[in-house]
Amino acid sequence: MTADRLTILHVYPRQMGVSGDRGNVAALVRRAAAAGLDTEVVEYAPGGALPTAADVVVVGNGPLSAMRSLGADVARIGAPLRDLAGSGVPIVAVGGGFDLATNEVVPTEGAPVAGFGVFDARAVRGAERRVNYFVLETRYPLLAGAATRIAGFEDHATRIELAAGVTPFADVVSGGGNQAGSPVEGAIVGTSFGTHTQGPILPLNPQLTDAVLAAATARVGREYTPDAARTETVDRYAREARATIDRYVDKAFKRIA
């Protein structure tokens, strides 16, 4: 955080941003503004200079073809991203971006694709494809009193195999999740999390946005205090959207053969 401005680093917005993932960046920007925090969004493209400092990193969803095309660049910036996560910078990795943030993506055909290695896990393609509303109880550390129930949408055919000791992002209430034997979803390392929850996840779940911003500001010795009066309208929209998901979660597609 420089001169009271939070830097949000958006990695591969063109290649890994096919599911409205800019909405996650927008949620961080607008939620921060409501708390009196200025932000700067820096977009990183393949071959560019990765910023040496950031306060939040966002990696969005994208197809396997995009991951393959990014191979050399992923190898180049993996270590700096791991360093950022290790220093307490929250990395939010969603969908294919979560897959890419593991150690490797194992396709049904062809060679594995090396990932950033932020999460000690691997993403194995070829699992049952899950297409459904998604309801979870998150394990990510939220602000005191915040609801742990989150909601979104999942659409993937990936099994996430977590290494021993890796904390899942959430427990599954309804949906597929990691599909690796336990009803859990995603992964957490430090203040970073990866998940297949789309929606986008942060606008749908403001308490999670607050938690990410709180982690980012705490790292630089600042306190993040949400302003409920300034976010009342968007909070109501998010509650109503989550209520709709709860209402129809058992009526949507659950899998595609």
Whether residue 256 is predicted with pLDDT greater than 60 in this model: the reply is: no
In terms of C-beta density within 10 A (0-12 exposed, 13-18 middle, 19 or more buried), how is residue 221 classed?
exposed
122 known ligand binder: no
Q: Determine how many CB atoms are found less than 10 A away from the CB of residue 254.
A: 16
- CATH class of the domain defined by 5-248: alpha beta
Q: pLDDT tens across 63-118, in order?
A: 999 999 999 999 999 999 999 999 999 999 999 999 999 999 999 999 999 999 99
Mean residue pLDDT of the chain comes to: 93
Q: pLDDT tens across 108-155, in order?
A: 999 999 999 999 999 999 998 988 899 999 999 999 999 999 999 999
Boundaries of every domain in the chain: 5-248
Least confident segment among 7-11, 42-46, 77-81, 245-249: 245-249
How confident is residue 254, by pLDDT bands cut at 50, 70 and 90? Answer: low
The predicted model gives 41-55 an average pLDDT of 95
CA distance 189 to 229: 32
CA distances from 192 to 200, 223, 241 (A): 17, 18, 25
